[in-house]
Amino acid sequence: MDILETENELVLKADLPDIDLKDVEIQVENGTLTVKGERKFEKRDTGKEGYHRIERSYGTFVRCFSLPETVESDKVGAEYKNGVLTITMPKKELAKPRAIKVKVTA
């Protein structure tokens, strides 16, 4: 998983190839973002498996992340496209950087 911070939001990206969206759950509770899911092993009934090696992980997974207080947890959004889950967490207005002009007096 990658976590990126921009001026307006935190973005978490997770590669979830071959995982059906119905097998992924995203939850925000008490300042914690939880991503749960399951990659199911496709067993083929050919009688001859033919696998030489299996290195991809299968089964359930859970990842939890503590969210900073600057995130608006009620506005968290998610998108799943081409095997990549993108979770967008907007920052509160107070947390965004702003420019302040300084007056110089002579």
pLDDT tens string 39-93: 888 766 555 567 788 888 888 999 999 999 889 988 999 999 999 999 999 998 8
Alpha-carbon span 56 to 61, nearest angstrom = 13
Q: What tokens were used for 10?
A: 């935190």
Band (pLDDT 50/70/90 cuts) for residue 104 is confident
The confidence score (pLDDT) of residue 96 equals: 63
Q: Span 25-47, mean pLDDT?
A: 84
- The answer to whether residue 95 scores a pLDDT higher than 90 is no
Residue 75, number of CB atoms within 10 A of its CB: 13
DSSP 82-99: TTEEEEEEEBPGGGS---
The confidence score (pLDDT) of residue 81 equals: 92
Residue bearing tokens 């199911």 = 40
Q: Span 28-37, mean pLDDT?
A: 94
Read off the pTM: 0.77
Band (pLDDT 50/70/90 cuts) for residue 3 is very high
Beta-bridge partner residues of 33: 28, 65
All residues at 6 or more sequence positions from 76 whose CB lies less than 8 Å from its CB, including other chains: 26, 28, 33, 87, 88, 89, 90
